[in-house]
Amino acid sequence: MRPVDQQLSVQSLKPSEDAGYRSASWIDACQTSRDLCRPYRWWVEALGPDETFRSLIERADRFHGEPPPDTPYVWQDSSSYGNCDAPNSYELLRLARMLDVSAVELFKHRLEDGPHLLYPTERRAYCPQCIREDHAEGRPRAFRREWARFFVLGCSSHRTTLHWAEPRLSSLKDMDIEVRLQPEEPWQQELLQVIDQFALTLEASLWNKARWPTNWYGTPASARAYLARHLCNLMGVPATLPLVHLWTQNLPFPFVAVPKRPMPPLYGPAWENARRIGRPAWRRAALWLTAWRVIPGLPAHWKPITLPTHHLDAIDEWWEGVPATPHRFKQWRTYDALRRSCIPIVIDHAKRDSMK
């Protein structure tokens, strides 16, 4: 009997398009992981410094063409389809063969999913300065793993704010390097720095890498709950996010912005929903509202001018006005848990207001 490699000719392994994705009938014809990638190469540069796998895939799509919808790439197992930033060992070996690099080198670029990261498809924030350097040095423009963290809103190398690359343009063009790096008004620049620093402190406190500042209100968990309340639609019908209360003509756009369209009601865990808010401008808006509530003594001119005192009460009123039904019970329970989690901030804040 001939070895497997000889039984399957290159022609029999090759689907109609030689673009790195596969059809179901073709997968059935392959017997080993080696067969899966043998006839394929991705003619793109290997991963750059700290580049994500999703960034590599976008580059390959631009060169080879996008695969049909819901079609995994030739190196992917169907079980991991959707989170391509964390390939398993078999996938790494196949991809290493396709790129002609070592699997050990590829392993350094894995990004295991977790609550500190944005949802995999939302990891599209980028630093224009880093991308300009890529361009100047002749490297492909690449998304870095650091920018996939929910609480990272600035570049640690350049101290610039992160911007957003539109997903609908991902297969057509690279990230824009001509964007403005920071707002013109000095007070807006300072405000963005405070928001970025607040986000990093909250992240470090949530994962026990730093102590919660003793003069801040509440706890890391209550601050995250308060943040999630602004990033989720906690009513049972489509509605705009509570974040919209921040909207004003003077908002430092595009660095801080709010989604004005109605969002579907929350189903499932609130933080999983918050992780789907990838745009740095929207995350910054929610963090601004949270920082204003948590950090005492912020300058009065940083107060969001359109913010009513009890802007979250509208959700309470909505729940009071609808009959309790079993199919809404899970949503109500999530909302109630979030509201209770915020109590340390609310009580502390009330004390502060009464002392004025």
Long-range contacts of 5-13 (CB under 8 A, 24+ apart): 5/34, 5/35, 5/38, 8/35, 10/38, 10/39, 13/38, 13/39
> Is residue 155 a contact point for Zn ion (CB under 5 A)?
yes
> Is residue 182 a contact point for Zn ion (CB under 5 A)?
no
Return the bridge partners of 163, or none.
126
Measured distance CA(234)–CA(257) in Å, rounded: 20
> Is residue 131 a contact point for Zn ion (CB under 5 A)?
no
Give the DSSP per-residue string, 79-97. Answer: GGTT-TTS--HHHHHHHHH
CB of 195 to Zn ion, least distance (A): 18
User: With CB under 5 A, what is the number of residues at the site for Zn ion?
Assistant: 6
CB of 119 to Zn ion, least distance (A): 23
Instruction: Write each residue from 101 to 130 as x if it is in contact with Zn ion (CB under 5 A), else as -, in one continuous string.
Output: --------------------------x-xx
Measured distance CA(98)–CA(20) in Å, rounded: 9
Q: Which of 20, 35, 28 is nearest to 73 (CA)?
A: 20
CB of 167 to Zn ion, least distance (A): 21
Choose, by CB under 5 A, the member of 9, 12, 89, 157 that binds Zn ion: 157
User: Per CB under 5 A, which region of 35-43, 89-97, 156-164, 220-228 contacts Zn ion?
Assistant: 156-164
CB of 45 to Zn ion, least distance (A): 20
Q: Which is nearer to Zn ion, 155 or 257 (CB)?
A: 155
Q: What is the DSSP letter of 232?
A: S
CB of 3 to Zn ion, least distance (A): 50
Give the helix ranges, DSSP H, for 72-145: 89-99, 103-107, 128-136
User: Per CB under 5 A, which region of 42-50, 153-161, 191-199, 298-306 contacts Zn ion?
Assistant: 153-161
Q: Which is nearer to Zn ion, 111 or 266 (CB)?
A: 111
Q: Which positions ≥6 away from 284 have C-beta within 8 Å?
A: 153, 192, 195, 255, 256
CB of 212 to Zn ion, least distance (A): 28
Give the DSSP per-residue string, 315-335. Answer: HHHHHHHS---HHHHHHHHHH
Q: Which residues are at the interface with Zn ion (CB under 5 A)? A: 127, 129-130, 155, 157-158
